[in-house]
Structure 1
């Protein structure tokens, strides 16, 4: 009888753990953390340190609107690894312009389990090339 009681407890514990694991909802993740989206931060390193990302997580890009001081920023979605590696914006899609990161920031939902390639397209890609303002994520399904 003790073994059937132990087995029942084990089944209950495993069931509870699977409910807790699957109950994780989407998270809002500020890109760059307290440093936000700015020139000179290694965002690929940031993404590695903040992995794993999950489908429906929300990336929040915060950056100041153009104010005449400093460089403005934007957010582009690049189509593939080659474009990402070369900071080639010819087929990229702008998802946030230079003013959309102000205040609470621009939110991007990771809707699918696929690789997303992000970069700043300002200064003809200089922020991507020299400023490390690029990263990729591959969200996991629940």
Structure 2
């Protein structure tokens, strides 16, 4: 039988709830600082202020550079970056930019992990390499968020050290675009 098992269904539910909570927390941090003079939340400008994801009011996919101007590098907390750049939408394009091996001794890659447990532990045993150490050069490696499901991204270099200790991991749960 194919499909999701009980644990996979539970994990998707947990990720969906976490995604909603992150979105609410992002909204909540501006509740008293809406910039409209009355101290209330400014619905018209809040989401347009989200860095890297400023076109969420139309039906066009967003192009979002992982880490913003910091790109994909060791020592940057991508989990925090992802929570600050919500919401992500289906068909948005994530761009991973990093130096090729010829320009740096610290190589990077991008792996897609199958589940939250693998993500938390940085376990790459069932991971899929989606961008090797050379694909982040130039315009970077582009990844389309094609469906409503959690996506777990990590760097698997240096024996998973970049994921475990270097902050090079994040997950997103793209939402349906409305409008």
Residue 30 to residue 22, structure 1, CA distance change in 2 (3 Å)? closer
Q: Residues 97-108 of structure 1 correspond to what in structure 2 (within 5 A)?
A: 97-108=132-143
Deviations 1:48-77, CA, capped at 9 Å, x for gaps = 000000000000000010026331000000
Matched, 1:61 2:100: no
Matched, 1:113 2:148: yes
Larger Rg: 1
Shift of 1:109: 0.0
1:88 alignment partner, one of 123, 137, 152 = 123
**Aligned counterpart in structure 1 of residue 163 of structure 2, from 122, 128, 134:** 128
Q: For residue 68 of structure 2, what is the aligned residue in structure 1?
A: 33
Alignment match of 2:85 (pick from 50, 73, 77): 50
What residue ranges of structure 2 are gaps of 5+ in the alignment?
1-55
Q: Secondary structure at the match of 2:101?
A: coil
Q: Which runs of 4+ in 1 moved over 6 A?
A: none
- Name the CA distance, whole Å, in 2 between partners of 1:127 and 1:139: 24
Partner SS for 1:34: helix
**Distance in 1 between residues matched to 2:104 and 2:121, nearest whole Å:** 28
Counterparts of 2:123 and 2:83, CA distance in 1: 22
Distance 1:50 1:22 in 2: 15
Q: TM-score, normalised by structure 1?
A: 0.83
2:147 is paired with a residue of what secondary structure?
Answer: coil
- Report how many aligned residue pairs link the two structures: 122
For 1:61 and 1:23, the matched residues in 2 are separated by 23
Offset, 1:47? 0.1
CA–CA separation in structure 2 for the residues paired with 1:124 and 1:111? 29
Which structure's relative contact order is higher, taking Cα pairs within 8 Å and 6+ residues apart? 1
